[in-house]
């Protein structure tokens, strides 16, 4: 007889066999066990062990690694007279599902998950886990590995994140409520507000720092949208040239460097919010030291000291450390995610902006991991594959060099003035004029240009490789420096005067941002939904400034009513998949709100995402309510391709 293969199916078979035997003989076993004295109990448990070998206590190392796997199965605990320890263990394993056993132990103690994670924390890796992961979803899928992600799946993920950040950027420029929320978060999380080694904070509460915060919010939103636009378009080129060995190598090196740049960017944002949030006690600012014109902030403790005292903060601080390889970051994301699944109320100890930043970090890292699972992504290289990243760094540095001169205090002192009629529009117009005056063109155009140029240059580099050009040096993978300083600004200014108005989707003129997306006037399909579903979308798509909130549970129920499937990703991140018969086969990734209610700026964001992804109408006159109060119908629109 061949060796038994320990597969997920075999584990399930053993579980069902144990459950059936316990159901049939559990009562008799209890009676018999309780009648045994200590010697009889010891004889019985040893008879069931291989060669009678059993742990003397939970820390017994005489049997090798057995104490790491089943410490609860030890003589000290099992054979105590008058103790039901063994019966409790048996009942727990036989009557609770595998998933429940993973989450919790006997009488509500920690389950297998916590036991495994605590052991992992104290063990070194014996082999590479690059790109490997497992997640227990439900009993049917217990222990099953994920299917390898295809390039088309990765493209879909990139498109979803691209749309997500473009919608965020658009709302910053079109919705005062959204802009005010973003600016408040940015203003009150300035690194200079972290106390230094003497407990001093920088005087960053003066009016000019409100102007600076608005500048940085808009700039950061445009950078994020530009990066993911380039990632998506570069992946499209890769999908067309996947069988071209030389081109694939060039694009994958570009992609590896871009992904590293973006991972560092979102990590920096996460750390920014944590060091002025739940982790504020454990950071200090290094006085007089700056990184990229930003005050340097370091951690005062090692996260390990909080492992038992505050597990959530331990995981959070681990994620704040300088990002290393993707696999290690994924490990800590998974640990924090598992902790939140088990202790959901613990998230209330984090600020909303921290939870949102964690979601963004998880989405970005998850995308990179999926890309690595789909294709052999090379290590980052500071000399090769720098076509886009080198251009991006140079442009970001140029924009950052002028931000200290911006002055919007006429409009935004205090920040709440952004909510006054016309103020946000005036602020954005003034900011746009300032940037055009300093750089020669609009902010959106500044980032749109490199995307076009670098994509073209990457494709040209591929053609050169395939044409066996005599000498292709590392310089071919860098952007050739163009005119600099005043000459470059003058060239931009000339192009700006001849360019059509609002030609960038990132224009800071609200009218342009609102009309940037072309509408498709094809006939809309009709769905039948419950009145509760209609009410949810009535709130989401209401045009009034004061909208009431809706619960996240109600929103999920409404999407389920439309036959969407919902898949948890990381932490508060969920992905909504349309039904197979939907004319729009695109997924939508959203973050569950911090307090489980959708309100304020988040209502605007989710409505924007629904319209962008599925073309759903904001005009409620297009929603038709039937005469039957049990049914409601509404139209949707298919977005232009």
pLDDT score at 184: 96
Name which residue leads in pLDDT, 403 or 635: 403
Average pLDDT of the segment spanning 191-202: 91
Using alpha carbons, select from 602, 608, 604 the residue that is nearest to residue 639.
608
The helix, strand and coil proportions of the chain, stated in percent and rounded to the nearest 5, come to: 60, 10, 35
Other C-beta atoms closer than 10 Å to the C-beta of 495 total 13
- Give the Cα separation of 161 and 158 in Å (integer): 5
| Beta strands, E only, 438-568 | 526-529, 550-551, 565-568
Which range has the worst mean pLDDT, 353-357, 520-524, 591-595?
520-524
- Cα angle value 342/343/347 (rounded, 5°): 130
For the segment 433-491, what is each residue's pLDDT rounded down to a tens digit? 999 999 999 999 999 989 999 999 998 888 887 776 544 444 455 544 555 577 788 88
For the segment 546-589, what is each residue's pLDDT rounded down to a tens digit? 678 899 999 999 999 888 999 887 767 899 999 988 878 888 99
- Give the Cα separation of 607 and 345 in Å (integer): 27
Question: In 375-414, where does DSSP find H-type helix?
Answer: 387-400, 409-412
Do 106 and 88 touch, CB atoms closer than 8 A? Answer: yes
Place of tokens 């200590």: 38
Decide if pLDDT at 542 tops 90. no
For the segment 289-337, what is each residue's pLDDT rounded down to a tens digit? 998 888 999 999 999 999 889 999 999 999 999 877 898 898 899 889 8
Q: pLDDT band at 140, cuts 50/70/90?
A: low
DSSP letter string over 422-485? Answer: THHHHHHHHHHHHHHHHHSS-HHHHHHHHHHHHHHHHHHHHHHHHTT-S---GGGGSPPP---H
Which range has the worst mean pLDDT, 30-34, 129-133, 554-558?
129-133
For the segment 66-115, what is each residue's pLDDT rounded down to a tens digit? 877 888 888 888 888 888 899 999 999 998 888 788 877 887 777 887 77
Decide if pLDDT at 216 tops 80. yes
């Amino acid at each position: 007889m061949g060796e038994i293969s320990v597969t997920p199916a075999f584990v399930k078979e053993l579980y069902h066999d144990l459950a059936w035997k316990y159901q049939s003989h559990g009562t008799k076993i209890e009676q018999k066990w309780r009648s045994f004295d200590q010697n009889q109990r010891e004889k019985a448990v040893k008879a069931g062990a291989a060669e009678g070998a059993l742990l003397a206590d939970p820390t017994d190392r005489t049997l090798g690694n057995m104490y790491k796997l089943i410490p609860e199965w030890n003589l000290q605990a099992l054979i105590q007279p008058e103790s039901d320890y063994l019966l409790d263990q048996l009942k727990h394993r036989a009557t609770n599902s595998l998933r429940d056993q993973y989450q919790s132990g006997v009488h509500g103690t920690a389950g297998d998950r916590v036991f495994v994670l605590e052991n992992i924390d104290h063990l070194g890796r014996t082999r590479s886990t690059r790109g490997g992961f497992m997640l227990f979803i439900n009993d049917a899928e217990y222990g099953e590995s994920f299917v390898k992600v295809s390039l088309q799946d990765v493209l879909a993920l990139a498109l979803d994140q691209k749309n997500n950040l473009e919608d965020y950027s658009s709302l910053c420029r079109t919705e005062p409520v959204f802009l005010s929320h973003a600016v408040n978060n940015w203003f009150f999380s300035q690194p200079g507000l972290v106390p230094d080694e003497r407990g001093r904070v920088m005087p960053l509460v003066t009016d000019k720092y409100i102007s600076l915060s608005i500048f940085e919010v808009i700039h950061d939103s445009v950078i994020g949208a530009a990066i993911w636009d380039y990632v998506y378009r570069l992946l499209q080129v890769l999908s067309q040239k996947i069988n071209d060995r030389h081109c694939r190598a060039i694009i994958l090196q570009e992609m590896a460097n871009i992904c590293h740049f973006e991972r560092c960017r979102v990590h920096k944002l996460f750390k920014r919010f944590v060091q002025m949030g739940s982790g504020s006690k454990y950071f200090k600012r290094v006085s007089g030291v700056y990184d990229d014109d930003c005050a340097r902030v370091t951690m005062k403790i090692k996260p390990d000291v909080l492992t038992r005292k505050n597990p959530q903060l331990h995981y959070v601080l681990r994620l704040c450390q300088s990002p290393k390889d993707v696999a290690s970051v994924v490990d800590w994301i998974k640990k924090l995610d598992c902790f939140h699944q088990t202790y959901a109320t613990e998230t209330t100890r984090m600020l909303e902006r921290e939870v949102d930043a964690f979601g963004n970090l998880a989405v970005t890292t998850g995308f990179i991991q999926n890309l690595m699972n789909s294709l052999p992504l090379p290590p980052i290289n500071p000399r090769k594959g720098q076509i886009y990243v080198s251009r991006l760094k140079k442009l970001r540095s140029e924009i950052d060099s002028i931000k200290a001169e911006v002055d919007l205090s006429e409009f935004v002192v205090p920040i709440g003035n952004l909510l006054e009629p016309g103020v946000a529009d005036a602020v954005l117009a003034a900011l746009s004029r300032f940037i055009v005056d300093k750089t020669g063109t609009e902010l959106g155009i500044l980032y749109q240009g490199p995307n076009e140029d670098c994509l073209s240059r990457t494709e040209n580099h591929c053609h050169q490789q395939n044409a066996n050009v005599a000498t292709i040096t590392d310089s071919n993978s860098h952007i050739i420096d163009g005119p600099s300083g005043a000459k470059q600004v003058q060239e931009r200014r000339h192009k700006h005067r001849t360019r059509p108005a609002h030609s960038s989707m990132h224009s800071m003129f609200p009218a342009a941002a609102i009309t940037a997306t072309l509408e498709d006037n094809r006939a809309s399909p009709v769905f039948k939904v419950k009145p509760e579903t209609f009410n949810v979308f009535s709130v989401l798509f209401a045009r009034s400034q004061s909208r009431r909130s809706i619960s996240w549970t109600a929103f999920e129920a409404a999407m389920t009513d439309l036959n969407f499937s919902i898949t948890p990703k990381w932490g508060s991140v969920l992905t909504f998949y349309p039904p197979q018969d939907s004319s729009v086969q695109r997924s939508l990734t959203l973050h569950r709100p911090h307090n489980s209610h959708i309100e304020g700026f988040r209502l605007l964001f989710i409505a924007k995402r629904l319209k962008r992804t599925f073309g759903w109408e904001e005009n409620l006159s297009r929603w038709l309510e039937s005469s039957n109060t049990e049914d409601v119908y509404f139209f949707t629109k298919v977005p232009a391709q």
